[in-house]
Every structure is written in C-alpha cells, then in structure tokens.
C-alpha cells in the first residue's frame, strides 16, 4: 500500500506530477521560513539506506514504467554524497528505463558539496535541482528567515550549473508586502539574482498567507500588509522587464502554480514582449483572482 510508504504531507514541484516520488528525507532541514507550513508537523530526518532501498523495491513491483523520479522531502541534497550515489545507483539498477532523477536543494547543501561530488551526482543521473530562492533581496530573506543570503544562493546555483545540472529556481511575488518601495526592491534584486545565475527554469509563485505560519500571524496583527493581485502582477512585470537574458542561456518561465493570479509561460529572451503584453493586458483589464492559497510547489 502506497499509504504505508509515504509520510504525509508529501510535496513535489508541479513538473514532477507524473514522477515516481521516493521520500529519502522527511521534512525540511531548515524548517524556519516564516511563510511556510509545509513541514510544520515533521522533524527533519534522513531515512536509512536500507529503508530507502526497501521502498525502491516496493515501487518497482508496483510500477511497470517510470520515466522520472523525484527525491523528496525538502533539501534531499543535504544527504552525504556517498549515500546519494548509492541511492541513485540502486534506482538506475531497478529502473533502467528512468530518464531523470531530480531533487530539492538549498544553498547550504550545494555549498557543502565539492564540485567533484556534484559532478559525480550529475553523472549518475541526478539531472535537475530545484531551489527555492523566494527573493533576491537580503532584507526580505532575513525578514522571512530564509536562512541564506542572495549571495549564497548565487554561489549555490552557479555551482550546480557548473556541475552540469539543470536548475529550477522559484521566487515568490508579493513577499515584500504592499509597500511600493519594498516591492520594487524585491523585484529588482530578484531579477538581478536570476539574471546573474540564469537558471534553466524560473518558477514564479504568488504569496499566500497561511494562518498557521509566522507571516500569517504577522498579517493578523497588521505587521505585514498583503499586496493585492494587481500589485503582485505589477511586481512580476518589474521582474520580467529587468531580466536581460542572453539568447545562449535562455530561461523557461512558468507562473502556472495554483497560487498565481495570472498564468504565464514562455522562454526568455524571445518571449519577453509576449509575456509583458499579457501582463499589461491583465493590469488594464483584470480583477485578478487566484485559484488557491499555497506557497509550496
């Protein structure tokens, strides 16, 4: 029974919807971001290699064909390299048809690994790394207790790219709140980090205030004032306007998460005007409504 294997709640990026999820860690090694409640109930733990192999065996019996595998929960890259190599090796042995292994990572887990270790992990089949940047503005990163600076994110993302990984970076529009100056700083500094690191994918989420989070409580006490849909779309416009991306290292943009007020998809630099036109259309005509409230992928 799948329900006996997974420890819920279980999160994965939208693009991993059809992937086999192997839960190699439980919870998040940081677990302190003020806007996040994903792993409130879980104490971070790395599963034993014996347990992970048992679960892989279980899924091999269950699934006839697996094209993609995602290693959950949060920051699974924090696992020591020799163990990750053993996991990937076992997955390759049991799922020879699999084309890609992907994983969540943090700047810390990327910085702790040597370039040689990262290259080995890439070579064994881990191809895509998901990183939650949220903002390129250190003031906001400190306020939301992200645990890393924009500079550390840049070092981590660049290191992942140099090792040959595809990178998928997520940002949260609206994280600066309603204040116009803070919103502009968030947009400009986030655009700067994205431009400097040029990830393969950029995922744009919109902030959802969740009642059982520190940020949600700050909002209840009026210490954080939420931006409205139009203000958030305006912020996304500033981010896109300020991204000058080289044609040789394009960025695939996706703002199609349930938290988004406006669905956007395209590739920079070629679709920049198209995306900006859609944003302008929404700003001129819209009364944007989001589909659901959630900050996690």
Chain contacts with ligand SF4 (rule: CB under 6 A)? 28, 30-33, 36, 38-39, 74, 132
Nearer to ligand SF4, 36 or 169 (CB): 36
DSSP string, 48-84: PHHHHHHHHHHHHHH-S--SEEEEESTTGGGS-HHHH
How far is residue 125 from each of residues 72, 102, 121, measured CA to CA in Å?
16, 9, 7
Q: Whole-angstrom Cα distance, residue 251 to residue 246?
A: 9
Nearer to ligand SF4, 31 or 92 (CB): 31
Q: How far is the CB of 41 from ligand SF4 (least distance, A)?
A: 12
Task: Tally Cβ neighbours within 10 Å of residue 20.
Answer: 20
The tally of CA atoms less than 13 A away on the side-chain side of residue 233 is 24
Nearer to ligand SF4, 36 or 118 (CB): 36
Q: Whole-angstrom Cα distance, residue 227 to residue 208?
A: 10
Measured over the CA atoms of residue 286, residue 289, residue 294 and residue 297, the dihedral's sign is: negative
DSSP 14: G
């Amino acid at each position: 029974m799948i329900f006996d294997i997974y420890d819920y709640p279980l999160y994965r990026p939208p693009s991993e919807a059809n992937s086999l999820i192997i839960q190699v860690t439980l919870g998040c090694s940081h677990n302190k971001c003020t806007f996040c409640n994903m792993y409130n109930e879980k104490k971070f733990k790395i599963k034993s290699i014996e347990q992970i192999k048992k679960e892989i065996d279980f899924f091999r019996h269950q699934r006839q064909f697996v094209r993609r595998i995602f290693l959950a929960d949060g920051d699974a890259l924090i696992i020591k390299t020799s163990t990750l190599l053993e996991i990937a090796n076992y997955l390759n042995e049991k799922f020879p048809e699999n084309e890609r292994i992907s994983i969540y990572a943090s700047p810390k887990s990327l910085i702790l690994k040597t370039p040689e270790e990262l290259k080995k992990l890439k070579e064994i089949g881990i191809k895509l790394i998901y990183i939650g940047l949220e903002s390129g503005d250190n003031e906001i990163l400190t306020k939301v207790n992200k645990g890393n600076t924009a500079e550390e994110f840049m070092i981590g993302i660049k290191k992942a790219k140099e090792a040959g990984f595809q990178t998928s970076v997520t940002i949260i529009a609206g994280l600066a709140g309603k204040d116009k100056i803070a919103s502009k700083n968030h947009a400009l500094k986030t655009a700067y980090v994205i431009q400097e690191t040029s990830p393969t994918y950029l995922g744009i989420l919109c902030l959802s205030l969740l009642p059982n989070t520190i940020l949600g409580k700050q909002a209840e006490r009026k210490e954080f004032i939420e931006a409205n849909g139009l203000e958030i779309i305006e912020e996304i416009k500033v981010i896109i306007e300020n991204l000058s991306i080289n044609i040789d290292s394009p960025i695939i943009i996706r703002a199609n998460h349930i938290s988004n007020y406006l669905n956007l998809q395209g590739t920079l630099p070629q679709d920049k005007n198209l995306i900006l036109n859609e944003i302008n259309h929404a700003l001129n005509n819209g009364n944007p409504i989001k589909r659901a409230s959630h900050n996690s992928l």
